[in-house]
Amino acid sequence: MIRFILVLFVAFASVASAQDVADTEAGSEIALDIRLASDVVLDDFLWLNRLIVVFADSDRDPSFKEQMELLNERPEPLIERDVVVIMDTDPRNPSDVRTELRPRGFGFVLIDKDGVIKLRKPVPWDVREITHSIDKTELRQQEVRDAREADGA
């Protein structure tokens, strides 16, 4: 009987240990850099990051919720492309970002590293569509060429 209990204890400890490792690995997921518009100045990101700015008149806006879910489902391709997400859901207290970009209702804006607006959309976009648009830009194509040359050197 004691041997049986000991075997069960060892088996349970192995399963629990494996679960702890899985939980630790899941906890180390890469998170997208998401900031409030009221806390940022767009020029601070110039030549460092691409920006996805998500506007809505409320954080309860279904389009806003859907867009944020889409971005958080697959953050890795966005992180690879140096994307920072900026969100603004308070039109009553307009941030400098809102004042500069002047959205109406829900809006999605993609700004390249050079500060140029590359895309404006009135509907949510998924990560595949976003990364495809980024990959078509001259700056991204140059980054890819530079990375290939660095790997080959």
pLDDT band at 153 (very low <50, low <70, confident <90, very high): low
**What is the tens place of the pLDDT at every residue in 83-136?**
999 999 999 999 999 999 999 999 999 999 999 999 999 999 999 999 999 999
Q: Identify whether the C-beta of residue 86 lies closer than 8 Å to the C-beta of residue 31.
A: no
* DSSP-assigned letter for residue 32: -
Cα 128 to Cα 63, 115, 133: the distances in Å are 17, 22, 9
